């Protein structure tokens, strides 16, 4: 009986990796930049597993026929849109896109469609709250610019921040011509402007007027990318392509093509513009101190 049980156990041990073995097609929205960083980190994350990337590139570089793989991983909104347009049945894990973009693309694709999940770029509101509390503990009046793209997210932010005795204010901006006027209505009522991913607001033509106007009012901008920090935002909380790629690889090694529900990023990075802090006469802790404080808050809950 003992030998029978041991044989069964050995069989199961060898069966699990075989059941999870598979092939992956990696579709990128663009070549180079963050997408190349994601692709390299993703393949490193799969090393030693039984999952292999058999095709990687943009749609222009890949076979236009349906991807013959057990799983498709997309990086960026365009890659997800193109994948769903193929009308295939292969499960899809979408990455490097905000939640609102993911949901919009799925709604446009309609049904039938393959099983789709995602790792969003958006930082959870609770993590944003912890970041602001460590970065600017005295700044409790938080403002947000909203468009039709991000309006549905505001209620969740307001609930989370209000529970911590923060005051939330917002202004709607659905036209580029309204940027300065809208900020003029919002900035006097707040201590800090919290920017979240929104392709209709935080785009190339709008970044400079938003940052310049906020500086004129002496209001710091807390953003969602290191690029915005370099452009003049005070700080940013974000997840790098390498961090998202590592999370995607971990999900696949654990669950294979049986994808879990969409989720936010597990890991995060912090950037601070010291020149902006000095110009606004703000005393801001260093990144390591902020991270320790955020992790301590999480552990205390």
* The predicted structure's pLDDT at residue 195: 97
Please answer whether residues 51 and 43 qualify as being in contact, where contact means their C-beta atoms are separated by less than 8 angstroms: no
Distances (CA, A) of 212 to 173, 216, 220, 221, 237: 17, 6, 11, 10, 20
> What does the domain layout of the chain look like in residue ranges?
2-120+242-255, 125-238+268-300
* The predicted structure's pLDDT at residue 256: 93
Topology agreement, domain 2-120+242-255 and domain 125-238+268-300: yes
The verdict on whether omega for the bond into residue 112 sits within 30 degrees of 0, i.e. cis, is yes
CB count in 10 Å sphere of residue 32: 9
pLDDT tens digits for 90-109? 999 999 999 999 999 999 98
pLDDT tens digits for 271-288? 999 999 999 999 999 999
Residues of the chain with pLDDT below 70 are: 1-20, 63-67, 301
State what percent of residues in the chain have pLDDT above 90. Answer: 77
On whether the 125-238+268-300 domain is CATH 3.40.50.2300, my answer is yes
d(CA 175, CA 184): 15
- Sign, CA dihedral 259-74-252-266, equals negative
CATH homologous superfamily for the domain 2-120+242-255: Response regulator (3.40.50.2300)
């Amino acid at each position: 009986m003992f030998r029978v049980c041991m044989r069964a156990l050995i069989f199961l041990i060898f069966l699990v990796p075989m059941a999870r073995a598979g092939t992956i097609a990696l579709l990128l929205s663009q070549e180079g930049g963050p997408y190349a960083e994601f692709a390299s980190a993703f393949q490193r994350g799969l090393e030693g597993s039984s999952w292999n990337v058999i095709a990687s590139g943009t749609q222009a570089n890949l076979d236009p026929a349906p991807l013959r793989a057990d799983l498709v991983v997309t990086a960026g909104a365009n890659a997800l849109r193109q994948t769903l347009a193929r009308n295939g049945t292969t499960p899809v894990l979408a990455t490097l896109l905000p939640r609102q973009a993911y949901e919009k693309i799925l709604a446009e694709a309609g049904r039938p469609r393959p099983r789709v999940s995602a790792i969003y770029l958006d930082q959870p509101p609770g993590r944003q709250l912890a970041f602001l509390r460590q970065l600017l503990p005295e700044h409790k009046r938080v403002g947000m610019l909203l468009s039709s793209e991000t309006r549905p997210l505001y209620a969740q932010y307001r609930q989370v921040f209000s529970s911590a005795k923060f005051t939330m204010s917002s202004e709607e901006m659905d036209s580029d011509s309204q940027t300065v006027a809208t900020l003029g209505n919002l900035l006097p009522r707040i201590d800090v402007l919290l920017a979240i991913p929104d392709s209709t607001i935080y785009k190339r033509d709008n970044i400079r007027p938003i940052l310049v106007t906020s500086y004129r009012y002496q209001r710091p901008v807390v953003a969602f990318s290191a690029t915005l920090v370099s452009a003049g935002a005070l700080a940013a909380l974000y997840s790098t392509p390498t961090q998202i790629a590592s999370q995607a690889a971990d999900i696949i090694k654990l669950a294979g093509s049986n994808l879990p529900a969409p989720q936010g990023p597990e890991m995060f990075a912090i950037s601070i513009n010291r020149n902006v802090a000095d110009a606004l006469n703000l005393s801001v802790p260093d990144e390591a101190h902020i991270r320790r404080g955020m992790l301590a808050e999480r552990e205390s809950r």
